[in-house]
Every structure is written in structure tokens, then in C-alpha cells.
Amino acid sequence: MPQKIPKYSELPVIEKTGERHAWDVFGRDDQLGSINFLTAERVKHAATLVRTGKVINLSLPLNFPITLYGGHRTGYKQTMTVNRGGRDDFLDNFALQGSSQWDGLRHVRYREFGYWGGRQDEDLDQKGQIGMEHWARHGIIGRGVLLDLPRYMEKQRTPFKANTKVPMDGPLMEKIAASENVQFMPGDILLLRTGWLAWYKSLDEASRDKLQGTLTNQSPNPLKCPGLDPSKDTAAWVWDHQIAALAADNPALEALEVLPEVGFQHRRLLPLQGTPIGEFWDLEELSSDCAQDGVFQFMLVSAPLYIPGGVGSPPNAYALK
């Protein structure tokens, strides 16, 4: 990793768009993006945060949710074979981004300018670049920080609904961290608890079915939820704090619905900054534990599936406290 990481304002500007990219920071042949911020020293520091040995799972069951996405992620079929010696099982139609997930660097491109590093489709299809296997080999391991929006709003005695749009920008995330006695550090993995997943779980099946297909703005009633603010200023905040990755308990990491005039953070974080995006993480047990002991930092361990050329993966993530 370079000894000096340039500020967001120092990054090159892409012609015609005004957006900045970090393609030259780690070199155009880089396969990791901001996972480079997870250095050996930062992993060692994260290990010192393990005080009790408690392990908290952060992943949903692979068969939940199913109906929210609509037709292109409809859930897998499990086939079990049984014989006198034991059992085997197989999955058909297994969507790697159908439940708790990492969006990888192949997931979103930035217009005609390409994927992370300015790569085009032939670089992915013919040269096999920026697949999930690179994160899998490295591991996503470092200091995790839970930013608990609902608990913060409750402390502030501010009305809050998990099915409304509440953008979490840099200043708000700083206020939440201060209320948790946490100071940000380079290489942090931020987990944004918005309360949306707990709200979704509380719905009956019919109410969940009504939300199917509402993730896009084409829906008459687009899905609304709290999450990461979609502005360029917030993308700059993420880069300048050298955040290694972000994940949330909502369907998109960022606040929904998307407003085209503001932008979509996926198109900045993944292709321009190389930052992993986590969606549908289960943060309820972690939230309760952090509130109980007052400690909102922990060692986070995530092992993406070692899939050559993979676009996404279940996170297989744990908080170690």
C-alpha cells in the first residue's frame, strides 16, 4: 500500500462527469480496492479487541429474503441425496447476492469508463480480473464499528421509522460514533444498523410480498429505508477516512429511494473507489450486545466464497468481542 494516501480532493477527475476515481492509488492492476486498507498491522490491532471470546453471527439464512428482489433472484432449490452411508446436497439457482451479501468489484461499472481500475468487459471475461477470489484469498478482516442509527435517534428523542428515508452522511455518522465513544481509524469496516431488517422481519408474508419489485424507482411505490447518504460529499468522507468496507442491514447499504439528481453510491464506491458494499447483514444480536456492554468496536472476520470470477458472495461474517 502507498505510504501516503491522497485526499479525495486530490484524486483525478473523470472527464465529462466530475466524478473522482482512485484507480491509480494502488495501481491499475490492483485486484482488491479499499481492502488494501486492511493491512497486517490493522488486522493485528483488531485482534486485540477480542476481550471475552464471544462470537456473533452477522449473516442471514441463505433462504431469506426470497420475495423482495423479484424475478431475477428467486431463491435456490436444495436437492438432498440419501444413502446408507450418509447424505449429500446440491443447490440449484443459488443467487450469490440473494441474502446477506458482499457486492464485489464486478457488480457495477461506471458508465463507459468501466469497472474498478477502468477495466472493460474484455478484462473481466478474457483476463479474469477483479473477481471475488481476490477478496477470498485476502480475507476481509479488521476492526468493525457498529453505527447504530435507531439507538442514537432514541437517545436524541427524535422520531424514527425504519421504513422511511434517513440518509447517514459523514457528520451524522460522526455524531453516532461519538455517542458510542468510538473514534474512526483507517481501515475500519463500518456496519450501519438502520433497523430496516428488523422492521421487514416483523411483517407478515403478505406484506413482504407487496414489497416485491420495489427496489427500483420504476415501482409506483419505491422502497424507502435509512442508509448511507448517496452524495459525493459522503463518498469523499468514506475515502478520506480510509474506510475498508461498509455493510448495512438494509437492501442496498445506501438510503432508498434513489434520486437520480443526487446519484447512486454504488456507482461511486464500487467502480471508482473499490469499496465493498454489504447488504442484508443481520445486526440485531450485535446491536443488543453492544448496547449491553457499551462497546461498539470489535474484530470482524468475513470469508467471501472462493469463486473465480465471482460477482458477489455471502459474507460468512462474524463479530468477535
- Domain segments of the chain: what residues? 8-320
Tens-place pLDDT, residues 37-64:
999 999 999 999 999 999 999 999 999 9
Least confident segment among 122-136, 160-174, 204-218: 204-218
- The pLDDT, as a whole number, for residue 70 is 63
Any residues with CB less than 8 A from the CB of 222 and at least 6 apart, and which? Answer: 214, 215, 216, 256, 257, 258
Phi and psi (nearest 5°) for 236? -65, -40
Place of cell 426470497: 66
Tens-place pLDDT, residues 79-101:
999 999 999 999 998 999 999 99
Which cell is 29 given?
A: 492492476
More confident residue, 222 or 159: 159
Mean pLDDT, the chain, whole residue set: 95
Residues 202 and 208: their CA atoms lie apart, in Å, by 9
Please give the average per-residue pLDDT across 64-71, as a whole number. 74
Place of cell 411505490: 221
- The pLDDT, as a whole number, for residue 71 is 62
Which cell is 273 given?
A: 473507489
Please give the average per-residue pLDDT across 297-301, as a whole number. 98
- The pLDDT, as a whole number, for residue 2 is 82
The answer to whether domain 8-320 has CATH 3.50.30.50 is: yes
If we measure between CA atoms, which residue out of 168, 184, 290 comes closest to residue 229?
168
Residues 58 and 317: their CA atoms lie apart, in Å, by 5
- Look at residue 213 and tell me whether its pLDDT is greater than 80: no
Q: What is the DSSP string of 52-73?
A: S--EEE----TT---STT-TT-
pTM of the model: 0.96
Please give the average per-residue pLDDT across 237-254, as a whole number. 97
